[in-house]
Amino acid sequence: MSAVLQSLVNQPYKHGFVTEIESDVAPKGLNEDIIRLISAKKNEPEWLLTFRLEAYKTWLTMTEPKWQNVHYPSIDFQDISYYSAPKPKKKLSSMDEVDPELLRTFEKLGVPMHERAALAGVAVDVIFDSVSVATTYKQKLADVGIIFCSISEAVHNHPELIQKYLGSVVPVGDNYFAALNSAVFTDGSFCFIPKGVKCPMDLSTYFRINTEGSGQFERTLIIAEEGASVSYLEGCTAPRFDTNQLHAAVVELIALDDADIKYSTVQNWYAGDENGVGGIYNFVTKRGLAKGRNSRISWTQVETGSAITWKYPSCILRGDNSVGEFYSVAVTNNYQQADTGTKMIHLGKNTRSTIVSKGISAGHSNSSYRGLVRISPTAEGARNYSQCDSMLIGDQCGAHTFPYIQVHNNTAKVEHEASTSKIGEDQLFYFSQRGIDAEEAVSMIINGFCKDVFQQLPMEFAVEATKLLSFKLEGSVG
Amino acid sequence: MVINTDYLERSLELWPFTNTKPSSWLNQLRANAIDQASMLRLPTKRDEEWRFTDISALTHLPFRPSQPENIIHIGDVEHLFLKEAKIRLVFIDGYFSSSLSIFDPTSLTVGNLPMFLSSNSAYLESHLGRLAKYEDNVFTALNTAFLSDAAVVSIPKNAAVRDPIHLLFIATQNEVTSYPRCLLVCEEGSNITLVEEYIAHNNAKYITNSVSEFFLAPHANVKHIRIQRENLEAFHLANCAVSLDRASQYQSISISTGARISRYNQNVFLNDEAAECTIDGLTMISNQQLADTHSCIDHIKPHGTSYQQHKCIVNEKAHAVFNGRIVVRPHAQQTNSSQSSRNLLLSKTAQVNTKPQLEIFADDVKCAHGATVGQLDEEELFYLGSRGLSPATARSLLTYAFAAEVINRIPVTSLRQRLEQAILYQKSE
């Protein structure tokens, strides 16, 4: 069976094509002038330039972290182009005016934009190499008072919200890559759900890196006011290049009293070829602040792409009774590396968090779960349950677990469980005895293994994730 | 940082072996270790392995190496002896005391370093310092550099020593660093129980920097009980390295109740197939104590088995740290490993940091770990209250029950009873 499966696993990267449109690329390198250039290009107000410059100064004083369980040649930050925008021919007033080449790209990707968007009922804010191209369903959302736009638009139209919240969850000096992002971020999504509004549809952003040698530094900010709720989807792809590309995004979520934010990611950046050449370095800072009482922040991620995935979507549970959730499936194959997990910082009383993490490693890949559960002295009656399971396919790969549990309050209840296993011969035998071939059996076993996480995904994403997973892993068992 | 280097520099300056030549290989070993120590620095909280254990306090202490001073009378320490132990080696501040010890000097299987050096130097050379690597551990490097005495236990092939061997390390001197050292070599098929105990004689302030090396030949079976009961002023920094050969069995129980700051690194290497280890630990601390246990179980060859259970009982303002690392190397197939870290917080101000870690590079393995942190169950307390037990009794009974799982495994009766008493009469909030 291995030959058949082998051919399937070596399936070329589906989204690997370059769109030939004229890009407006800033010269490579990073200095104050580049930051001023980005700011000027985007016609930004003075306060944002100050924010960027401060972040840049902080970044200069920081050193690249070394503790992670991923290995990569050191990044030359002067060899990256920090701004790349499709050259706008004129101001866009409707979808029909969008560059047809661009639209074809999305068509190839199967992004449900334009008419196709209706099919999934999704409003897409498309980020194309850092600049938001078009936003759909804006009007429908505006009717209920929801602001959903690119962050550069928000800077002009809602500066008071941006000034209030930008950097409030992930401060500029939080970590090396967050500081870099704060200095050079080019675009991203902004979403504001006003008091008491339940967002009528799932919101979605589709990220894609197009220009070789450019970094993608997007910034996402989602605010849910009292009693509001929103489900946000993020999907990522990139064309294939032999050089490694850096993707250092920052995502900030803020949930006020009784608000509910659900953030789902399906990440399928280009992972490099079967020899580990090329691929995206996905170094992302994602953090949610459950600020209000009874607020809830839920992260769901399916990480299948990127040469290196290194991120910890986190929840700061400040409000009393707030809830943090983290559901993750991380699949690595060939020479991919993943060091991912979450941080649950319990500050408020009776805060609860759940962590379910499933790691699948195949080929020569390594995947690590690294998580922090911190119960502060103020978090009376806090509760955490963590479960992280790993599955190994083949004997060349590695699976690692690094849970940090820090408890400073004796009323807390913290539980952590982890296990490691492989697909058993007897399991496969059972399937074949029922007439199910090995390939399908593996796919079914893996889907069962990941079920707890997939259940958390919105419908369309769950389907996509299931498909992605079988693409990734076919051929690695045999 | 400046203060940090001071302690190390002082230690380096006080190195006594600049011109001595007791035995060329030993001198070479010490010289290598002191060179290595001079290249290292003391760990700080910025080092991942020392994130939660701040040892900067010890850098302020003007400690010098301990000196051999035998001023202890047998009557003062008699209560520390174990009645089951027919062989006992007592070390005062790291130096052997023949008057307090009982052993047979004619049998050369148990003794101290100078005895073995004069009779069987080559044997020592092939073991001492071979397992406890000092290349990247400044404390092991210092211990090796200052190595002048050691407990040496060598069990011949197929020998079964029925009674436990007691290694007792007593600290007496104020403001010194002592360097206790143990070497255990178990030849093929041998079987022993070893009690390694560290205890304070008074309220002196001191640093114990100990290193133990255990070699288990094929089919050897070792039960290792380690008791750390230093006083509340002491710093206890210990490294233990264990090498398991084919089908050998190692069972370790480490109890840690003493020291202001303690750090115990235990590294177990399953160097050949079908080796098996059971590593149990119990940390019970209060006041402002900090107890840090770092273990690493390294499955290098296939068919290895390891079980680990570490429990912490933390009271008052104490702080317990546990970092248990399990590594399954490539091709160490059919490894079966389980690990659990269970923690009981008895007061509001107590804290615990636990990190059970799995690093797995082979696919046909069974590995699981778990960690829990909690407090005494209200319902259980209520139940005991309904049976007429006072809240204080109920609490200590439940605390005892939590600890008993580890304590009950100790095969030496008098030692077990001693520990049971200590736990039952501990106060809790």
Measured in degrees and rounded to the nearest 5, phi and psi for residue B117 equal -60, -40
Q: Of B221, B239, B272, which marks where a domain is finished?
A: B272
CB atoms within 10 A of CB A387: 16
**How does residue A357 score in pLDDT terms, banded at 50, 70 and 90?**
very high
Put simply, the answer to whether A407 touches B352 (Cβ < 8 Å) is yes
Residue B351 with chain A: CB contacts under 8 Å: 406-408
B377 touches chain A (CB under 8 A): no
Residue A418 with chain B: CB contacts under 8 Å: 356, 358, 368-370
Distances (CA, A) of B403 to A216, B314, B398, B408: 53, 12, 9, 9
Put simply, the answer to whether A392 touches B331 (Cβ < 8 Å) is no
Residue B353 with chain A: CB contacts under 8 Å: 404-407
Residue B307 located in a structural domain:
no
Estimate to the nearest angstrom the gap between the alpha carbon of A463 and the chain centroid: 18
Q: Which of A375, A402, A422 lies at the smallest CB-CB distance from B363?
A: A422
Put simply, the answer to whether A393 touches B356 (Cβ < 8 Å) is no
**How does residue A120 score in pLDDT terms, banded at 50, 70 and 90?**
very low
Residue A337 with chain B: CB contacts under 8 Å: none
Please give the model's pTM, rounded to 2 decimal places: 0.82
B101 touches chain A (CB under 8 A): no
B231-240 core/surface letters (b: 16 or more CB in 10 A; e: else) = beebbbbbbb
Q: Which of B361, B370, B375 lies at the smallest CB-CB distance from A417?
A: B370
Q: How far is A445 from chain B (nearest CA, A)?
A: 16
B396 and B261 share one domain: no
**Could you give the CA distance from residue B145 to residue B423 in angstroms, rounded to a whole number?**
37
Which letter does DSSP use for residue A95 in this model? G
**Could you give the CA distance from residue A59 to residue A176 in angstroms, rounded to a whole number?**
6
Residue B115 located in a structural domain:
yes
On the question of pLDDT at A117 being above 50, the answer is: no
Residue A399 with chain B: CB contacts under 8 Å: 358, 360
Residue B347 with chain A: CB contacts under 8 Å: 410
Q: How far is A69 from chain B (nearest CA, A)?
A: 10
The fraction of chain A above a pLDDT of 90, given in percent, is 36
Burial class (CB in 10 A: 0-12, 13-18, 19+), A453: buried
Q: Which of A261, A199, A195, A189 is nearest to A227 (CA)?
A: A195
**Could you give the CA distance from residue A164 to residue A187 in angstroms, rounded to a whole number?**
18
**Could you give the CA distance from residue B201 to residue B76 in angstroms, rounded to a whole number?**
8
Per residue, the 3-state secondary structure of chain B, as one string, reads CHHHHHHHHHHHHCCCCCCCCCCHHHHHHHHHHHHHHHHCCCCCCCCHHHCCCCCHHHHHCCCEECCCCCCCCHHHHHHHCCCCCCEEEEEECCEEEEEEEECCCCCCCEEEHHHHHHHHHHHHHCCCCCCCCCCCCHHHHHHHHCCCCCEEEEECCCCECCCCEEEEEEECCCCEEECCEEEEEECCCCEEEEEEEEEECCCCCEEEEEEEEEEECCCCEEEEEEEEECCCCCEEEEEEEEEECCCCEEEEEEEECCCCEEEEEEEEEECCCCCEEEEEEEEEECCCCEEEEEEEEEECCCCCEEEEEEEEEECCCCEEEEEEEEEECCCCCCCEEEEEEEEEECCCCCEEEEEEEEEECCCCCEEEEEEEEECCCHHHHHHHHHCCCCHHHHHHHHHHHHHHHHHCCCCCHHHHHHHHHHHHCCCCC
Q: How far is A413 from chain B (nearest CA, A)?
A: 5
**Could you give the CA distance from residue A286 to residue B226 in angstroms, rounded to a whole number?**
44
Residue A390 with chain B: CB contacts under 8 Å: 358, 360
CB atoms within 10 A of CB B73: 10
Q: Which of B351, B361, B243, B230 is nearest to A422 (CA)?
A: B361
Residue of chain B minimizing CA distance to A401? B358
Residue B359 with chain A: CB contacts under 8 Å: 398, 400-401
Which letter does DSSP use for residue A197 in this model? P
| Contacts (Cβ under 8 Å, ≥6 apart) of A467 | none
B 303-342 → A contacts, CB under 8 A? 330-331, 333, 341
Q: How far is A407 from chain B (nearest CA, A)?
A: 5
Residue B254 located in a structural domain:
yes
**Could you give the CA distance from residue A151 to residue B364 in angstroms, rounded to a whole number?**
48
Q: Of B245, B272, B299, which marks where a domain is finished?
A: B272
Element (H, E) at A299: strand A296-303
**Residue located via tokens 């090329």:** A278
Put simply, the answer to whether A392 touches B352 (Cβ < 8 Å) is no
> A216 in the Ramachandran plot: left (φ > 0), alpha (ψ -120 to 50) or beta?
beta
Concatenated DSSP letters of A24-76? EEPPBS-SHHHHHHHHHHTT--HHHHHHHHHHHHHHHH------SS---PPP-
Put simply, the answer to whether B351 touches A422 (Cβ < 8 Å) is no
**Could you give the CA distance from residue A418 to residue A401 in angstroms, rounded to a whole number?**
8
**Could you give the CA distance from residue A450 to residue A467 in angstroms, rounded to a whole number?**
13
Which letter does DSSP use for residue A412 in this model? -
Q: Which of B354, B362, B368 lies at the smallest CB-CB distance from A418?
A: B368
**Could you give the CA distance from residue B273 to residue B300 in angstroms, rounded to a whole number?**
8
Put simply, the answer to whether B362 touches A416 (Cβ < 8 Å) is no
**Residue B383, amino acid:** Y
User: Residue B261 is part of which domain span?
Assistant: 2-272
In the numeric block, which tokens belong to residue A300? Answer: 């769901």
Select the highest-mean-pLDDT range: A72-86, A97-111, A464-478, B329-343.
B329-343
CB atoms within 10 A of CB A195: 14
Q: Which of B245, B104, B143, B234 is nearest to B188 (CA)?
A: B245
Q: Note the ipTM here.
A: 0.80
Put simply, the answer to whether B370 touches A422 (Cβ < 8 Å) is no
Put simply, the answer to whether A377 touches B349 (Cβ < 8 Å) is yes
Range scoring the smallest mean pLDDT among A135-139, A269-273, B292-296: A135-139
B385 and B236 share one domain: no
Estimate to the nearest angstrom the gap between the alpha carbon of B380 and the chain centroid: 33
Bigger pLDDT: A89 vs B318 = B318
Residue B322 with chain A: CB contacts under 8 Å: none
Put simply, the answer to whether A398 touches B350 (Cβ < 8 Å) is no
In the numeric block, which tokens belong to residue B158? Answer: 């197929």
**Partners of A79 in the beta sheet?**
none
Residue B83 located in a structural domain:
yes
B378 touches chain A (CB under 8 A): no
Q: Which of B331, B369, B375 lies at the smallest CB-CB distance from A395?
A: B331
Residue B224 located in a structural domain:
yes
Distances (CA, A) of A424 to A387, A388, A433: 21, 19, 14
Best of B361, B365, B395 to disrupt the A interface (most A CBs within 10 Å) is: B361
Put simply, the answer to whether A410 touches B348 (Cβ < 8 Å) is yes
Q: Note the pLDDT of residue A15.
A: 61
CB atoms within 10 A of CB B302: 19
Residue B359 located in a structural domain:
no
In the numeric block, which tokens belong to residue B215? Answer: 């070699």
Q: How far is B278 from chain A (nearest CA, A)?
A: 19
Q: Note the pLDDT of residue B16.
A: 85
**How does residue A93 score in pLDDT terms, banded at 50, 70 and 90?**
very low
**Could you give the CA distance from residue A139 to residue A191 in angstroms, rounded to a whole number?**
14
B27 and B166 share one domain: yes
Q: Which of B343, B351, B357 lies at the smallest CB-CB distance from A402?
A: B357
On the question of pLDDT at A162 being above 70, the answer is: yes
The number of distinct structural domains making up chain B is 2
When the pLDDT of each residue in chain A is averaged and rounded to a whole number, the result is 81
B359 touches chain A (CB under 8 A): yes
**Could you give the CA distance from residue B133 to residue A310 in angstroms, rounded to a whole number?**
32
B355 touches chain A (CB under 8 A): yes
Q: Of B272, B293, B319, which marks where a domain is finished?
A: B272
Residue ranges of chain B with pLDDT lower than 50? 1-4, 428-429
**Partners of A369 in the beta sheet?**
A340, A401
Put simply, the answer to whether B371 touches A412 (Cβ < 8 Å) is no
Put simply, the answer to whether A396 touches B347 (Cβ < 8 Å) is no
Is residue A257 classed as helix, strand or coil in its secondary structure? coil
Q: How far is A412 from chain B (nearest CA, A)?
A: 6
Angle at the Cα of B14 (from B12 to B16), degrees rounded to 5?
105
Q: Which of B217, B223, B224, B161 is nearest to B187 (CA)?
A: B217
Element (H, E) at A336: none
Distances (CA, A) of A426 to A422, A438, A476: 11, 12, 18
Query: Taking an 8 Å Cβ-Cβ cutoff, which residues of chain A contact chain B?
Result: 67, 375, 377, 390, 392-422
Rg, chain B, Cα only: 21
Chain segment B36-86, per-residue pLDDT in tens: 999 998 898 888 889 888 888 877 777 888 888 767 888 888 999 999 999
**Could you give the CA distance from residue A15 to residue A269 in angstroms, rounded to a whole number?**
9
**CB-based contact B13:B65 (threshold 8 Å):** no
Estimate to the nearest angstrom the gap between the alpha carbon of B402 and the chain centroid: 21
Q: How far is B12 from chain A (nearest CA, A)?
A: 30
Residue B319 located in a structural domain:
no
Is residue A256 classed as helix, strand or coil in its secondary structure? coil
Q: Which of B330, B367, B373 lies at the smallest CB-CB distance from A419?
A: B367
Residue B394 located in a structural domain:
yes
Q: How far is B268 from chain A (nearest CA, A)?
A: 19
Q: Which of A403, A421, A422 lies at the smallest CB-CB distance from B371?
A: A403
Best of A368, A407, A415 to disrupt the B interface (most B CBs within 10 Å) is: A407
Best of B345, B373, B402 to disrupt the A interface (most A CBs within 10 Å) is: B373
Residue B362 with chain A: CB contacts under 8 Å: 392, 395
Chain segment A209-237, per-residue pLDDT in tens: 555 555 578 889 999 999 999 998 887 66
Angle at the Cα of A198 (from A197 to A199), degrees rounded to 5?
105
**Four-residue CA torsion sign, A94, A95, A97, A99:** positive
On the question of pLDDT at A50 being above 50, the answer is: yes
B68 touches chain A (CB under 8 A): no
**Residue B35, amino acid:** D
Distances (CA, A) of B425 to B347, B376, B395, B420, B428: 17, 17, 11, 9, 9
Put simply, the answer to whether A395 touches B370 (Cβ < 8 Å) is no
| Contacts (Cβ under 8 Å, ≥6 apart) of A130 | A83, A84, A85, A186, A187, A214, A216, A217, A218
**CB-based contact B335:B365 (threshold 8 Å):** yes
